[in-house]
Chain A
Amino acid sequence: MTIELTQAQLASAASSEVIIEIVKMNKWYGSFHVLKDIDLTVHQGERIVVCGPSGSGKSTLIRCINALEEHQEGDIIVDGIKLGKNLKNLDHIRTEVGMVFQNFNLFPHMSILENLTLGPIWTRKMSKADAVETAMTYLERVKIPEQADKYPGQLSGGQQQRVAIARSLCMNPKIMLFDEPTSALDPEMIKEVLDVMVELADTGMTMIVVTHEMGFARTIADQVIFMDEGDIVEQSGPTEFFDNPQHERTKLFLSQIL
């Protein structure tokens, strides 16, 4: 199973074009230097796991990719578009890049179905019937079609996070970003979310995942990135990364977390 997956991943990673390119990117919060000279290239269909201690800038990095945070220096090119202050580009990028948050961030005043159809109807200009159909397809994929008419507050954390994943997928994005998707969940629920993410990975979606779930990283990642204090300290394939880490800092981190 693992071996087959890895081969499929290698094939997809090798064959496809660059979809995200980050060159010498720097970001400051006030005078605090969060991200330092980040260089990163992501190919279409590639799955990248970002890990590191808290405060290392990993969340900030992926939030820069869909322009939730502004970077101050360097370039971020997503799907051929250079991120900057141009508003029109921003809207385009955001419809192409889906994001799943640690705290789900579902809209509590709308039913699950409304949460899912909102984006397609308002930004993809889909008809309501089509949007509902798409939404139900994705709800089935995350295995909770029966919850469509409930409100987020009535669902468990794991279910909410799966809805959040479905909500992003309804926009038919080219890239999916995950910002610690399982950190706010009970252990029992982590698995159901990870299963959905593994299935998503099998479909060839480009994914960047910030997570501490190392087992998950080993299963799906093409590349694992370790960040510390705003630097990308180490970047390598999962086998290499876990079995033979190079940097002292990585070794220390892995010894604490595994």
Chain B
Amino acid sequence: MAAESAFAIPKGQVDLMDFVDWSGVECLNQSGSNTIVNALKQGYREDEGLNLVSDADEQLLIYIPFNQVIKLHSIVIKGPEEEGPKTVKLFSNKEHMGFSNVNDYPPSDTVVLSEDNLKGKPVTLKYVKFQNVRSVTIFIEDNQHDGETTNVQKIVLYGSTVETTDMKGLKKIEDH
């Protein structure tokens, strides 16, 4: 019972996948057939067989833009015990990031994932650092066993939306 409550969605927060601008989502170093969609999209991420796998080495860089401003509260990253990610750095509102400049900026938050976290326990982030987020960049630096490939089953972002107008929802008023 206690374990179950630990995995539950934090109170007052919602799954932010509805607010992701999918056309802008980008993942570097993903292998050709196991892409970011497998870990991020509803339906795909619930499937244990569909994973995000790294390609050239163990690092992954995931850029997720939102179509409105959000507040990020916590994150769930699920993965297998051995190949699951370990050190994860999060950056807010950093566009055009590459592996060459991940060390140029201080991360908004750094998380070291435990075994529990990999099974689905949410990690609470420094909430004050993620108050005005238009995009978030997730940099997975290494994995649990320092292997060459990293495997991510599921990524969920929990938070809330800031009361703003979604400009994309606006439609041109036709002339009368």
A and B are interacting partners: no
Q: A residues near B, CB below 8 A?
A: none
Q: B residues near A, CB below 8 A?
A: none
